[in-house]
Amino acid sequence: MTMEEYNSGDEVVFSADEASISVKECIEGVIGGTDYNQSKVNQWTASIVEHSLTHLVKQGRPFKYIVNCSIMQKSGAGLHTANSCYWDTATDGSCTVRWENRTMYCVVSVFAVAVAL
C-alpha cells in the first residue's frame, strides 16, 4: 500500500504476501458461506479470477498477470496440482492460496511477470 514511496530506480518486485491477502478476500467475497453448487461453480471461478485480476491491476505495478482458479467438490477424491515457471526470478513471482469450507476446496494461483520498462 505504501509501495508508491519506493518509486526510486528499479523497485519492481512482486509481493506474494500482498497478493495472497487480496486473493483471499476475493475468494471470501465470492464463495464465503456458500455450499458447492454445480450450477453456480462456473460463475464462481470466473468471478474469482476477474476480481483477483482487477485488484492486482489496480495496484498499478508494471506486471502482466495470470490468475488461475480451481474449485473442487469435497468428496474424498484426490486432487494434485503442480506448476513450473521459466522466467526472471529476480522480478517475477507467484503465490498460491488454498481455501476450503465444508463442501469444497478452492485453489487460486497468481503469476506475475515483470514488464520491461
Partner 1 sequence: MRGMDEYHNGNEGSFSSEEADSVVKECIESVVGGDDYSQSQVNKWTASIVERCLTQLIKQGKPYKYIVTCAVMQKTGAGLHTANSCYWDTAVDGSCTVRWENRTMYCVVSVFAVAIA
Rounded to a whole number of angstroms, the minimum distance from the CB of residue 97 to partner 1 is 14
Rounded Cα–Cα distance for residues 34 and 84 (Å): 32
Nearer to partner 1, 5 or 41 (CB): 41
Residues in 18-47 at the binding interface with partner 1, rule: CB under 8 A: 36, 38, 41-42, 44-46
Rounded Cα–Cα distance for residues 106 and 95 (Å): 14
Q: Is 79 in the site for partner 1 (CB under 8 A)?
A: yes
Rounded Cα–Cα distance for residues 64 and 101 (Å): 31
Q: How many residues bind partner 1 (CB under 8 A)?
A: 46
Given 4, 17, 77, 102, the residue binding partner 1 (CB under 8 A): 77
φ and ψ at residue 67, rounded to 5 degrees = -120, 130
CA nearest to 105, candidates 35, 47, 54? 35
Given 12, 27, 31, 92, the residue binding partner 1 (CB under 8 A): 92
